Chain A
């Protein structure tokens, strides 16, 4: 079993829908939780990161961490076709240079 589990999808939703992307993990030492977005044929780029438990909001995006359940989520409100991409979760222990990535979830938002 991988340290970080992420459903690869694809997840297909209509424009305007609320999207929920999730990852589970097994390493209780993870302290930093990140979401990267990767458009087709491009490199991943950081979308959001959070430290420890709680929520963080940035525009239409909300990242949520539940350390007690070892579960993290990314919510996208009012999804747009431009949100169509692969979303990778990543986690790391404090001070570690090496994050552990999920396999990524492919999201398709159709008009």
Chain B
């Protein structure tokens, strides 16, 4: 049982380039989300999905796109990378059952935009 898998672990981009961060989970979780973590800022929600075909914006969605074609996968696309998008990105998922919706996080993707 792999949990939440993120690729790549590290990436360096030039300003203006595009790329996709991959996220896959094998727990059949309905809810998936993307966060970015910056020093002193904590975790900030970018986009989330409550099921296949359903996505919505979080706190800091600008410059990012998502789609959810399957339950397992939730890729995050940077359309035109900017230095302000240098950050550590975490994908998370939860079952979405009654009660506390505890998140399972991936190991993170560290992105540097030059």
Chain A interface residues toward B at CB < 8 A: 6, 8, 32, 34, 36, 41-46, 49, 51, 88, 90, 92, 95-99, 101-104
The reply to whether B96 and A97 contact each other, CB–CB distance below 8 Å, is yes
The chain A residue sitting closest to B49, CB to CB, is A97
List B contacts of A42 (CB < 8 A): 107-108
Chain B interface residues toward A at CB < 8 A: 4, 31, 33, 40-43, 45, 48, 50, 58, 90, 92, 94, 96, 98-108
Separation of A32 and B105 alpha carbons in the complex (Å): 18
What is the CB-to-nearest-CB distance from B68 to chain A, in angstroms, rounded to a whole number? 13
Given A88-B43, A98-B48; A46-B99 close (CB under 8 Å): no
What is the CB-to-nearest-CB distance from A94 to chain B, in angstroms, rounded to a whole number? 8
The reply to whether B100 and A34 contact each other, CB–CB distance below 8 Å, is yes
10 further A-B contacts with Cβ under 8 Å, apart from A42-B107, A92-B100, are A32-B99, A43-B105, A43-B106, A44-B90, A49-B100, A92-B101, A97-B31, A101-B42, A103-B40, A103-B42
